[in-house]
Amino acid sequence: MKKLVFAIITLATFSATAQNNLRSSVSGNFETNMQVLNEDTLIGAFAPTEKAVMNTVMNINATVGKFRAGVRFESYLPAIAGYPVFYNGTGIGYRFAEYAGDQLNIKVGNFYEQFGNGIALRAYENGALGIDNSFDGVSVKFIPRKGVELKGLMGRQRFKFKDGVIEKSKGIIRGLDCDINLNTLIPRFSDSKLKVTIGGSFVSRYQSVNDTTPPNVNIYAGRIDMRYQRFTFGAEYGYKTNDPSLQNGFVYNPGHGALVNLGYTQKGLGIILTARSFDNFQFRGDKTVLGNQLTTNFLPATTNNHTYNLAGTLYPYAANPAGEVAFQMDVFYTIKKKSKLGGKYGTKLHMNVSVATDHMRHKTGTNFSADGISYIGKPFDLNDSLYNFDFNIHLSKKFSKKWKASAHYYHFIFNNTVNPVTLLAKGYIKSDIFVLEAQYRIGRKHSIRGEIQGLFTEKDRGNWGAALLEYTISPKWFFAIQDQYNFGHPDPALQLHYLLGSFGYIHNQTRFIFSYGKQRAGIVCVGGVCRPVPATNGLSFTMTHSF
């Protein structure tokens, strides 16, 4: 805390005395989301007794020469629909002071950080989802010579925002990371066609306990990234010492996380293969906490990020926190301009396929009553229990300066037993989704865009249809209307429409959006901006501003 006060005073002094000699600026952003909610039991939308709810955040960052400081005010009065209930009140959610030199960077207060691919450590925020696991402590980065970066940090993680005050993790996280670019470090390799970067991390949590579980739990991770002409290769492996936690049922198994990427690219073509395996690897700032909060490492789903409403919102797959083995392939291809299939402007193709399965648990040789180890897990040791299958293909074409269109197909096999998203179905839910989109430009400033979507499944709530029409006037206005219709619901009384109208006004860095109607949870893109939203029925107002 003393350091923080010192940094603030230093900053204020610098700003007051050295204005004209130093580069100084203030930047930041503001976002408010307000909803007036109606109860709608049919669609599962909830209205609190307050009726009106609001989330607001404002970041202010100031830079003076090499010093920087920032603060974020947050206000949840109360939080909008779908947000964690322990976000309430008004207060300061984030503040830091920083010295950013050429070789040295010191941060005190709150900070975000990522080591390597995030397998060992990632602190980040996603305001729309209510995730913020920032550290409160000290972070130091040092570049002893070009090509080498060392990082060290210690801190407690953000947990709850209760009555405007941050509640922090019980555990203290300590981390070290080293990243070496061999081509930069070794002059002899600077012109080599083979580019190699290696790195290693050590992350540890201390949590005082009055039981027999270990107070210190460690993750060790190593990584490599290589590029050779058109090929790229990346891999990271992490090992976690035994971490008895509420998440794993207090077993003493060690954990592992592994990630491998292999890519090939040339003009007009990009292919990427990804494989991820993890078992008992979720790491948190508190061993007694579940859910989205207080994660210390990052284990994302190995699937495509779908943005069309029906594809993105009904059966979305998230990585199984207990462990999984997953593979993914993406092919991006542009059929050449002025060829038979490419037409005047070229035709774009994207194919994505991913599969996630359970992993093997080897019991032979284990003695649970002696050491608390319930099974042995190995990297990429999958079994035949399917968690998720996702095939999707996208074709888009520009026909003229005015016309553009795209077609999309998805096939999902979703394991609702392992990752339950609905109570109406058991086991696997198979679905097929079709999307057509077209855009027509009317003159320089006006354009119109339409989407039609269909989802077909024999389970859960049956078939869905959706349509969207959007009219935009550059650079200020947009108007949109959309409907989703659950025409295949097995109960005719529940064959409902979800109608939503919205309009927005944009003035440079400021954007206002009003919408009224029913919304399903998921990522919604309207008027040129994307963001995730929860299920609601009512009026919502969003304003964002950057300064």
Among 135, 159, 161, 298, binds other proteins (CB under 8 A): 298
Q: Is 295 in the site for other proteins (CB under 8 A)?
A: no
Residues within window 26-85 making contact with other proteins, judged by CB under 8 A: 26-29, 31, 59-64, 66, 68-71
Q: Report the alpha-carbon distance of residue 99 to residue 64 in Å, rounded.
A: 10
Of positions 173, 301, 468, 533, contacts other proteins by CB under 8 A = 301
Taking residue 347's Cβ as centre, other Cβ atoms within 10 Å add up to: 17
Decide if residue 546 touches other proteins (CB under 8 A).
Answer: yes
Distance in Å, CB of 193 to other proteins, minimum:
12
- Choose, by CB under 8 A, the member of 129, 150, 272, 424 that binds other proteins: 272
Q: Is the dihedral of CA 240, 241, 242, 246 positive or negative?
A: negative
Centre a 10 Å sphere on the Cβ of residue 130 and count the other Cβ atoms it contains: 21
Stretch that binds other proteins, among 18-26, 204-212, 425-433, 453-461 (CB under 8 A): 18-26
SS3 state of residue 217: strand
DSSP 65: T
Residue 214 in the binding site for other proteins (CB under 8 A) = no
Q: Is 240 in the site for other proteins (CB under 8 A)?
A: no
Q: Which amino acid is at 434?
A: F
Structure tokens at 424: 């109406």
Q: Is 178 in the site for other proteins (CB under 8 A)?
A: no
420 CB contacts (<8 Å, ≥6 apart)? Answer: none
Q: List residues bridging with 31 in a β-sheet.
A: 57, 544
Residues in the chain, overall count: 547
CB of 385 to other proteins, least distance (A): 23
Considering the rule CB under 8 A, would residue 184 count as an interface residue with other proteins?
yes
Question: CA angle 294-296-299, nearest 5°?
Answer: 105
For residue 135, give both structure tokens: 């550290």
Q: Which helix (H) or strand (E) holds 10?
A: helix 2-17
Under rule CB under 8 A, residue 133 binds other proteins: no
> 170-181: buried (b, 16+ CB within 10 Å) or exposed (e) per residue?
bbbbbbbbebbb
Q: Which stretch binds other proteins (CB under 8 A): 326-334, 370-378, 409-417, 486-494?
A: 326-334
Q: Which one of 198, 271, 386, 496 is in contact with other proteins (CB under 8 A)?
A: 271
Shortest Cβ distance from residue 143 to other proteins (Å)?
8
Q: Answer yes or no whether residue 370 interacts with other proteins by CB under 8 A.
A: no
471 CB-contact burial (10 Å; exposed 0-12 / middle 13-18 / buried 19+): middle
Residue 100 binding other proteins, by CB under 8 A:
yes
Tokens of 145: 């010579």
Nearer to other proteins, 26 or 290 (CB): 26
**Residues 101-120 contacting other proteins, CB under 8 A:** 105, 112-114, 117-118
Give long-range contacts, CB 8 A cutoff, 24+ apart: 460-466: 460/416, 460/422, 460/424, 460/425, 460/429, 461/422, 461/424, 461/486, 461/488, 461/489, 461/490, 461/494, 462/486, 462/487, 462/488, 462/489, 462/490, 463/487, 463/488, 464/310, 464/314, 464/488, 466/309, 466/310
* Closest CB to other proteins among residues 301, 500: 301
Tell me whether residue 43 or residue 543 sits nearer to other proteins (CB atom): 543
Closer residue to other proteins (CB): 284 or 511: 511
Under the criterion CB under 8 A, does residue 274 sit at the interface with other proteins? yes
User: How many residues bind to other proteins according to rule CB under 8 A?
Assistant: 101
Give the rounded distance of the alpha carbon of 210 from its chain centre: 35
Asked if 530 touches other proteins (CB under 8 A), the answer is yes
How far apart are CB 491 and other proteins at their closest, in Å? 34
Under the binding rule (CB under 8 A), the answer on residue 503 touching other proteins is no
Q: Is 351 in the site for other proteins (CB under 8 A)?
A: no
265 binds other proteins (CB under 8 A): yes
Counts for the chain of helices (H) and strands (E), in that order? 4, 31
Minimum distance between the CB of residue 87 and other proteins, rounded to whole angstroms?
Answer: 18
Residue 447 beta carbon to other proteins: minimum distance, rounded to whole angstroms: 4
Minimum distance between the CB of residue 228 and other proteins, rounded to whole angstroms?
Answer: 12
Applying CB under 8 A, the span of 35-43, 379-387, 421-429, 471-479 interacting with other proteins comes to: 471-479
Q: Taking the complex as a whole, how short is the minimal distance between the CB of residue 294 and other proteins, in angstroms? A: 17
Which one of the spans 39-47, 74-82, 170-178, 295-303 is the region binding other proteins (CB under 8 A)? 295-303
Residue 385 sits in the site that holds other proteins (CB under 8 A): no
User: Smallest distance, Å, CB 382 to other proteins?
Assistant: 20
* Residue 511 makes contact with other proteins by CB under 8 A: yes
Torsion sign, CA atoms 4, 8, 13, 18? positive
Give the 3-state secondary structure of residue 7: helix
242 Cβ neighbours under 8 A, 6+ residues apart: 214, 217, 252, 253, 254, 372, 373
Within residues 420-449, the interface with other proteins by CB under 8 A covers 439, 441, 444-447
Binding mask 386-415 for other proteins (x = CB under 8 A): ------------------------------
Residue 254 CB burial class (10 angstroms; 0-12, 13-18, ≥19): middle
Shortest approach of other proteins to residue 269 CB, angstroms?
6
Return the residues of window 134-173 that contact other proteins according to CB under 8 A.
141, 149
Residue 261, interface with other proteins (CB under 8 A)? yes
Give the torsion sign (CA, 91, 82, 408, 448). negative
Q: Which is nearer to other proteins, 65 or 214 (CB)?
A: 65
